[in-house]
A and B are shown apart, each in its own frame.
Chain A
Amino acid sequence: MARKILLVNDHIEGLANIDVYRRNGGYAAVEKALKTMTPDAVTEEVKKSGLRGRGGAGFPAGMKWSFLAKPPGVPRYLVCNADESEPGTFKDRYLMERNPHSLIEGMIVSSFALGARTSYIYIRGEYYYVLQILEKAIAEAYEVGLLGKNIMGTDFSLDLYVQPGGGAYICGEETGLIESLEGKRGNPRIKPPFPAVVGVWGCPTVVNNVETIAAVPHIVNMTGDEYAKIGIGRSTGTKLISASGHINKPGVYEIELGLPVEEFIYSDAYCGGISEGRSLKAVVAGGSSVPVLPAELILKTAAGEPRLMSYESLSDGGFATGTMLGSGGFIVYSETACMVRNLWNFSRFYHHESCGQCSPCREGTGWMEKILHNIESGHGKVTDLDLLVDICKKIEGNTICPLGDAAAWPVASHIRHFREEFEYHINNPEKVKDPRHCEKQPFVRKAQSNPA
């Protein structure tokens, strides 16, 4: 069953215009929340909805909100994380581009719940045209009194600003984002203190992903209890999935959480199967940072259950045989994909994006990339694989922010599940010198009965 919430009006022409948006039920949640509810009641609905953060970590949004410190006389801030830089993830862009007012409505309702009088949307600099769409929409909202002083005649006032980033993945990490928003170098902060206590300008702050915030008006409209009925278990609601790679129909899909992975890949309503009739080799299910899974483990868990698109099902089996839903960046690889090359490409990204504050990430990401480049180009050594695994171990859990982990997980999982392919590269340097070697002569995996 295809239940749509965020993209329900997606087909409507001119939805970015405020009149069209309002004619289709837009800003009803602002009216309902501001006029009939208390801020705490809104937070309560979000808690009941079970909505989890859509930016990657999946932390329950209502719980995050209730942790916000509220010292009297100190302003509080809501920051929307629109930095969207995780490779494989492009859902926030789509949402903001098609339906900017849904984010603005979410910002108003969420700011009301949190008691924020000033809020920010931090958007990656490369999305400049999206920033222009947002600014136009914000101007429209100010004009009709949905932003600014005394919104809809109530005593709630809100100013909303959009701030572009300068082109750094690390500014998507919430404290790096806050530093950057304050005009500083986007180095992640050492936690604690968490943003809920010390955030923007030293004040309590909530940082939420675009998709998380855009879901709030729907929760207010339909009530938290109703929202919680959608989805499966503790994975409530719907999720935007950015599908890319070797599939027939790449794009952004809204799915009800709990959809079987197999259906998502092969159904015509979604990815439409593997392109050129090839077979599935692997999937990175939640953006480049989460562990890769080979075909047999993405379709079924180690216990043989069908794998579902939900936080719990995807992480079933831990990192040995599972992965994470992450940000929903779903990258599909067919048999023609070279996993070594893919990993080198990922590693190059993390090497390039490390902020350089902590030694394990600064030095380790570059080291791993260099070794992988050697292996990929046919200059690898047999000892390199164990060395890579050891470097991962030395980075993981020993850094200021999770980028270090995010750099280590793909490496560890690619080697865990595709070790033979790496060994093939090391032992057949002549064959892999051609960068298209895998397309011409796919490396066929032996099915692993018991993946370690």
Chain B
Amino acid sequence: MFKVTIDGIETEVEPGTTILQAARKIGGEIVPPTMCYYSSLEGSGGYCRTCIVKVSAGSAKDPRPMPKPVASCRTPVQDGMVVQNITSPELLEARAGVVEFLLINHPLDCPVCDQAGECDLQNLGFAHGKEESRYDFPRRVFEKKDIGNKIQLHMTRCILCYRCVKVADQLTPGRVHGVMNRGDVAEISTYIEQAVDNDMSGNMIDVCPVGALTDKTFRFKSRVWFVNPTDAHRNCTKCSGNVVLWFHGTEIYRVSARKNEWNEVKEFICNDCRFENKKIENWVVEGPRKIERKSVISQNHYEQYNQLKAQIEKQRARLANGETPDIGDISLRT
């Protein structure tokens, strides 16, 4: 086992573990934000540079610091490595630079973007961005491309994280889309306006950290925080059938794969489950889905009200026992 210290917190991990995974093992605020890394996609990460950290000691054997910040998602730990994330002001400044780069050409059309409320870039900008932009040039625009009747592509919002390309490479029988052109005019596209249509293509929507790839069957129907996520499953021959149903009243507005606390899907789902089964009788409902990440979705989540109800019951019981109620315990946040 390798010993590694991140922001003063020590942990032990297997050799080969990346700095990011070690930080996630520790958890909490010291975990670097990620925009392109995706644990269930091979070879992902390294592109966006938001996960950079400072290595202040390379290893116990060679304790020299690394000269430049490194991408924590692609850098394996060494025994005795000392890493700084939120404890290094220069590093945070460098990360703010990355966030600025990601935002200068972003349209910031959150009010009309379906991803708003579950967008990694929105969260990143909120946590690490600056209030004002130093960029005073017109933002980049692209010619609109139609990539089929299931997935909506908004290239202006894309941050070129390459996740959708890796989904197409690793989950679908043949990739028909990719990155065309280079530099800041590089774009996601199907070379000869071909539809992206196969059993697993819908997963591109889930992995996309921004609103560049959204679900055409859900578009403009509701803001995500007005729909209630519910775990459900069905027997499916093509995938695990474990999904999240997004209810508006009793109507299923959207079906998506389940995301973990890092906003990553571990079990990808097929297009049948995602697009063709929007009737409640197709599913076995398991119960409300807990949204773990700090997200506006959880702010409006009825599960919160269940918790509140439980709290009120608890305090009532205290009162009944002649104890003083513990007001500090009542909270709408998780």
- Which residues of A does B touch, CB under 8 Å? 168, 170, 185, 190, 351-360, 362-367, 370, 387, 390, 393-394, 397-400
Contacts and interface: CB of A to CB of B under 8 A. Distances in A.
Contact of B100 (A353, A365, A394): A394
Interface residues of B, number: 33
Interface of B: 46-50, 52, 67-69, 71, 74, 94, 97-98, 100-102, 104-105, 134-135, 137, 159-160, 162, 178-179, 181-186
25 contacts: A170-B182, A185-B178, A353-B182, A353-B183, A355-B182, A356-B160, A356-B179, A358-B48, A359-B98, A362-B184, A363-B102, A363-B184, A365-B184, A366-B105, A366-B183, A370-B137, A387-B134, A390-B97, A393-B97, A394-B97, A394-B100, A398-B52, A398-B94, A398-B98, A400-B47
B150 to A, nearest CB: 25
B46 A190 contact: yes
A33 B178 CA distance: 46
A358 B183 contact: no
Contacts of A354: 182-184
A393 B52 CA distance: 15
Given A367-B135, A394-B100, A359 B159 contact: yes
Nearest to A190: B46
A400 B162 CA distance: 14
A356 B71 CA distance: 17
B334 to A, nearest CB: 31
Contacts, number: 88
Classify the secondary structure of B's interface with A.
loop
A359 B160 CA distance: 8
A398 B49 contact: yes
A400 B135 CA distance: 24
A394 B50 CA distance: 12
- Which of B49, B68, B71, B178 has most chain A Cβ within 10 Å? B49
A390 B94 CA distance: 10
B101 A360 contact: yes
A170 B162 CA distance: 18
A359 B47 contact: yes
Contacts of B48: 358-359
Contacts of B182: 168, 170, 353-356
- Top 9 A-B residue pairs of the complex, sorted by shortest distance between their CB atoms: A394-B97, A397-B68, A356-B186, A363-B101, A354-B183, A366-B184, A190-B46, A359-B101, A356-B183
A248 to B, nearest CB: 37
Contact of B46 (A355, A364, A400): A400
Contacts of B181: 356
- Which of B47, B74, B94, B181 has most chain A Cβ within 10 Å? B47
Contacts of B68: 397-398
Contacts of A390: 97
Contacts of B178: 185
A397 to B, nearest CB: 4
A376 to B, nearest CB: 15
- Which of B100, B135, B178, B181 has most chain A Cβ within 10 Å? B100
A359 to B, nearest CB: 5
A398 B47 CA distance: 10
A51 B46 CA distance: 33
Nearest to B43: A190
A219 to B, nearest CB: 32
Contacts of B183: 351-356, 362, 365-366
Given A358-B48, A359-B101, 18 more contacts: A190-B71, A356-B181, A356-B182, A356-B185, A357-B47, A357-B160, A359-B48, A359-B49, A360-B98, A362-B101, A362-B183, A363-B104, A363-B105, A365-B184, A366-B105, A367-B101, A387-B134, A397-B68
